[in-house]
Each structure stands twice: as structure tokens, then as C-alpha cells.
Amino acid sequence: MRERNRWTQSLVAILIGALALAITLQVRDKPSDDFENARSEDLVELLKSLDAVNQRLDRQISELTDTRDDLLDSSKQSSAAQEQARAQADALAILSGTAPAVGPGVVVTISDPNNGVDAGALLDSIEELRNAGAEAISVNGTVRVVGQTYLIDTGEGIRIGGRDIQPPYVIQAIGDTDTMATATQIPGGLVDTIERRGGQVSVLRREAVTITALADVRAPEYARPDS
């Protein structure tokens, strides 16, 4: 689309130049002897004819100029719309877990020497980070946590979204670093919950957290777009 608009704009510019050249050539190509030998009545008619041609050419140049300007505006609007659509698609891909993500955030490491941290406690920890504004979350670098991700106990660890993981549980979260780090320390929050179960928590702030794990995407069995 962009190449077609660019080609059309070039064609319009060529046509404008050709029309302007036609006006000049029409006057220059008329032999001077013809003007010298022409009657005054003929010269008057010639001038009228030239005026009519010039007016017609002016209108055509104006129309072509308007077309060129419209194409330029259309191209800019199309480019802006494409950029907006691309930005929205990128945002949705991050939120749905179908694209890698990088940004400031925290790395929360949960050690469980007494095997007291179960799926419920880990889920509470993840939800606390999400409530604090985490935009992308992964666990142990292999599991991307999204809205439909489930957690269950396996006896040897925790199954998250179909993947079995063992402690220590390393939660990477991208979002506002200070907000998330502060939220983990509030009374009754993440750190308190894990420590009451015999676990240990380390919270590190990072200027750049990279999450490469992707969520498993399943095609909906029952839901369809409402057209």
C-alpha cells in the first residue's frame, strides 16, 4: 500500500510538471513571423484561446496538486494506524504470554528447606506481585504465568501450567520495581506468608528483567468470536 501511494504521488508530480511545460512550449513553439503578419483580430482570438488553455491547465494542476496532498495525508494516516495496531498487538502478546518481554522489575527467590511452601502459597505470592502491577511473570525461567495458568501440588514440588518445578522457586516479574518490592515486604504479605511456612525469601530489584518463557496457547474448544 505504501509503495503504491509513493508511486501515485510520483506520477502526480510528473503530470504537474508536464502540464507546466506544456504551457511554456505552446507559447515558444509559435513562430514569431506568424505574430508579425497576423491581423489584430487574429491576435485577439489567439490570446483568448491561450487564456482558455491556461485556465484549463491551471485547473488541472490544482486538481492534481489536491490529489497529491490527499495521497500524502492518506499515507500519513495509514502509517499512524499501522503503528498503533502494531503497538496494540505487541502489548496483547506480552499480556497473553505469547511474546518474550524485557523491562525493569524484581526477582523473587523462594527457598523451601522444610517443604512447607505449597501451590497455594506460591499462587498467593504470584498474585501479590500481579496486584502490585506486574505485567509479565515467569517461574524458574520455564513457565510463563498468565490468567489461565494453574498451580497444583505434586508431592515433589509444584506443577505450574503443566510443568513440574522444584524449589527454589525463582519468580521473575516485570513492572514498577519499587512498587512490587515494597508490596512483598508489607505485614502479612509475600515475605511473611513464605516465612510462616518455613521458607526463605530474597527480593532483588533489577533495572532489566528478561522473560523468554512463553505461555502454552490452546485453541478455544467452545468460544467463537461474536460477529
Please tell me whether residues 129 and 81 are part of one structural domain: no
pLDDT band per the 50, 70, 90 thresholds, residue 215: confident
pTM (whole model) above 0.85: no
Residues 18, 9: Cα–Cα separation, whole Å: 14
Residue 29 has pLDDT above 50, yes or no: no
15 part of a folded domain: yes
Please tell me whether residues 150 and 73 are part of one structural domain: no
Long-range contacts of 161-166 (CB under 8 A, 24+ apart): 161/215, 161/216, 162/216, 165/139, 165/140
Span 135-152, average pLDDT: 91
* Top-confidence range, 4-18, 36-50, 71-85, 146-160: 146-160
Domain count of the fold of the chain: 2
Mean predicted lDDT score pLDDT of the chain = 78
Please tell me whether residues 11 and 70 are part of one structural domain: yes
221 part of a folded domain: no
Which residues are within 8 A (CB) of 148 and not within 5 positions of it... i.e. 6 or more apart?
none
* Top-confidence range, 70-74, 150-154, 163-167, 172-176: 172-176
User: What distances in angstroms separate CA 161 from CA 13, 52, 152, 204, 218, one per listed residue?
Assistant: 59, 78, 9, 25, 12
| 3-class DSSP state of 191 | helix
Residue 102 has pLDDT above 90, yes or no: yes
Compare 67 and 214 and report the one with higher pLDDT. 214
Q: Which amino acid is at 52?
A: A
| 3-class DSSP state of 172 | strand
Please give the biggest Cα pair distance in the chain: 117
Please tell me whether residues 89 and 112 are part of one structural domain: no
- Please give the pLDDT value at position 10: 58
Please tell me whether residues 106 and 207 are part of one structural domain: yes
Out of 83-97, 99-113, 200-214, which region has the weakest mean confidence (pLDDT)? 83-97
Q: Name residue, grid cell 502509517.
A: 79
Please tell me whether residues 70 and 151 are part of one structural domain: no
59 part of a folded domain: yes
Please tell me whether residues 72 and 160 are part of one structural domain: no
Span 27-37, average pLDDT: 49
Please tell me whether residues 57 and 114 are part of one structural domain: no
Please tell me whether residues 136 and 153 are part of one structural domain: yes
* Top-confidence range, 15-19, 31-35, 77-81, 102-106: 102-106
Span 162-182, average pLDDT: 94
47 part of a folded domain: yes
227 part of a folded domain: no
Instruction: Select from 96, 113, 133 the last residue of a domain.
Output: 96
Residue 63: domain span: 2-96
Residue 201 has pLDDT above 90, yes or no: yes
150 part of a folded domain: yes
pLDDT band per the 50, 70, 90 thresholds, residue 186: very high
130 part of a folded domain: yes
Q: Contact, 166 vs 127, CB < 8 A?
A: no
Compare 157 and 36 and report the one with higher pLDDT. 157
Span 94-120, average pLDDT: 91
Please tell me whether residues 77 and 113 are part of one structural domain: no
Residue 205 has pLDDT above 60, yes or no: yes
Paired strand residues for 158? 153, 165
Span 106-124, average pLDDT: 94
Please tell me whether residues 21 and 74 are part of one structural domain: yes
Compare 137 and 10 and report the one with higher pLDDT. 137
219 part of a folded domain: no
Instruction: Select from 48, 71, 96 the last residue of a domain.
Output: 96
> What CATH number should be reported for the domain holding residue 158?
3.30.70.1880
Residue 28 has pLDDT above 50, yes or no: no
